Structure 1
Amino acid sequence: MKQKRSFKFKVFRGIAIFLIIMVSTFFVYVSSYYKSSSLALDALKSDSLVTVEENGDILFKPIYNNKNIGFIFYPGAKVEASAYAPIAKEIASKGYTVVIAKMSFNLAILSPNKAENIVSKHKDINSWVIGGHSLGGVMAADYALKNNKIKGLVFLASYPKDKKDFTSNQIKVLSLWGSNDKVANLNKIKEAKNVMPSDSEFIEIEGGNHSGFGDYGYQKGDGDAFITNKEQMSDTSKSILNLLDNLN
């Protein structure tokens, strides 16, 4: 009897130690993330064209020429949501409501349906475009197939999960990547064209890299950019605005 109790105790203790190690490892992993730099922090300030509010997510609301189309953005893995504020604010200044979703532990994979709350909260928006950077784009693509209010999909250095096929979908698709990206799999980004509608746009940003889509500094393992992240974000905003304008 004592031997059985001793064995059970050793098993439970082993499981407890394993769980403690796993949880500790997870929290060490998520506690280190890429934080927003000066351009992004400046873009979080309201001005004469855009009101910026942080209440769970980050809302960029145009003051003038409000359109009934909105843009939801999923950040890249372990990147602070506000790092994408320059892109969001530029788009909002042209009349489109933009919401950057804040993810649990800065990981979109832990909040894949965050867009559901955003859509339901903004009843005045009839149509939405959803997009994301890197892992955020993967999760955004998943959600795009779940809600018929999603009319557009934007990939920034990203691509859909295997076996996701959008060819028979009426959704407008834009895919952007930097020519010097050393983080994302560029072959998979380009091959995704095979599972997208025929009118999808696939655009390489010459001289751009992976981390240039946000303002959070250099991402480990990335290639060197030959343009500034300000230039890359500006080019990105213009391409997204073109997609949004074509939905009107």
Structure 2
Amino acid sequence: MLVVVWVCVTQWGGVVHGHPAYAVLLAVTVVASVLTGVVGLRGRRPGTARLTLRIVAIVLGVGWLALTVWMRPHTAAEPALEAMRSDAAVTVAESATEIVMTPTGEVDDVGVLFQPGAFVDARAYAAVLRPLAEAGHTVVIPKQPLGIAFLAIGALDATRPRFAEVTGWVVAGHSLGGTVAAIEADEADAAATHPAVGLMFFASYPANDISGSLTVPVLSISGSKDGLSTPEKVDASRANLPAGAEFVQIDGASHAQFGSYGPQAGDGTPTISADDARAQISAAAVRFVDDLP
């Protein structure tokens, strides 16, 4: 119960605005805690079999709580929250499973599907991605079950039929989300309708060699002070990407500056402001998407 209270107090926004799966996990934890308390208050002296079951239950319970803590979301912060507001240029719609940014003016036929990083509130990317919508591109940000990108690996296939005006999709993602985006783009770049027409990495790289199978343009945007997707790891990924892949390094940017959700364990220390980093990341992304045929 204390773990659930702690999660809700510290990351309430991420719980409420995240995929419902994590909220369900918290609810199950509460129910299990109550049942455990009721059984414990009965005070029966356990036999050998019952004692063994209790030990197993304790081990499983500790593991469950550790998993709950590990998956605690990184809640979105400003200026991402402000970017979630609709205005004369962009309409923002949020549901339990996704965020959609739609240009209010002419809509380009190239859209962007963006996979968030692990356990990061999808809203955290609103500010860095909003310039794409302002440039005329529909932007869809899936809310991943339990904050794990691999559990949303079908997001592109689920999105394409619902946006008839978008004839091609740039698949993008941050950190683990970028790894999943690479899988989705590699599978969909030859689709007969609404194919993947580009791939963007935000502080990320592919898990496997797709240099011979991926046929669409690729942009990798990284930070020189990233302590997670380090410059060395990003540079090593060149061999796994098509020869024409473009690499843009934001000097002084850290891993967490690709979204707006606060500091992240293991990250480097940035030497530029979050506003400066975000402006450079957005500019590179808009230029890449705008230049696609």
TM-score, reference length from structure 1: 0.90
Change (3 A) 1:14 1:144: farther
2:251 aligns with 206
Structure 1 residue matching 2:257: 3-state secondary structure: helix
Please report how far the alpha carbon of residue 93 of structure 1 lies from its aligned counterpart in structure 2 after TM superposition: 0.3
Structure 2 residue matching 1:38: 3-state secondary structure: coil
Matched, 1:144 2:221: no
Contact 1:101 1:115 in 2 (8 A): no
Change (3 A) 1:143 1:13: farther
Alignment counterpart, residue 82 of structure 1, candidates 104, 123, 127? 123
Please report how far the alpha carbon of residue 49 of structure 1 lies from its aligned counterpart in structure 2 after TM superposition: 0.6
1:35 aligns with 75
Which residues of structure 2 form unaligned runs of 5+? 1-46
Moved more, 127-136 or 145-154: 145-154
Contact 2:142 2:152 in 1 (8 A): no
Whole-angstrom distance in 1 between the partners of 2:199 and 2:258:
16
Matched, 1:187 2:227: no
2:156 aligns with 115
Structure 2 residue matching 1:145: 3-state secondary structure: helix
Please report how far the alpha carbon of residue 90 of structure 1 lies from its aligned counterpart in structure 2 after TM superposition: 0.9
Contact 1:49 1:93 in 2 (8 A): yes
Whole-angstrom distance in 2 between the partners of 1:230 and 1:195:
31
1:154 aligns with 200
2:105 aligns with 64
Whole-angstrom distance in 2 between the partners of 1:246 and 1:174:
12
Structure 2 residue matching 1:191: 3-state secondary structure: helix
Structure 1 residue matching 2:165: 3-state secondary structure: coil
Moved more, 183-192 or 211-220: 183-192
Which residues of structure 1 form unaligned runs of 5+? 1-5
Please report how far the alpha carbon of residue 23 of structure 1 lies from its aligned counterpart in structure 2 after TM superposition: 2.3
Moved more, 7-16 or 48-57: 7-16
Whole-angstrom distance in 2 between the partners of 1:116 and 1:11:
46
1:52 aligns with 92
Contact 1:75 1:84 in 2 (8 A): yes
Whole-angstrom distance in 1 between the partners of 2:187 and 2:214:
12
1:220 aligns with 265
Deviations 1:74-121 (A, max 9, x none): 111121110100122111001000011111122213322222212222
Whole-angstrom distance in 2 between the partners of 1:16 and 1:53:
42
1:100 aligns with 141
Change (3 A) 1:112 1:8: farther
Matched, 1:21 2:21: no
Identical pairs, percent: 33
Whole-angstrom distance in 1 between the partners of 2:274 and 2:211:
30
Whole-angstrom distance in 1 between the partners of 2:65 and 2:263:
26
User: Which residues in structure 2 correspond to 1:166-181 (within 5 Å)?
Assistant: 166-181=211-226
Question: RMSD in angstroms over aligned alpha carbons?
Answer: 1.9
Structure 1 residue matching 2:106: 3-state secondary structure: coil
Amino acid at match of 1:96: H
Q: Which has the larger radius of gyration?
A: 2
Whole-angstrom distance in 1 between the partners of 2:263 and 2:283:
23
Deviations 1:62-81 (A, max 9, x none): 01121111001111112111
Please report how far the alpha carbon of residue 11 of structure 1 lies from its aligned counterpart in structure 2 after TM superposition: 6.7
| Aligned pairs, number | 241
Higher percent of residues as helix: 2
1:3 aligns with none
Whole-angstrom distance in 2 between the partners of 1:40 and 1:150:
26
1:246 aligns with 291
Moved more, 112-121 or 204-213: 112-121
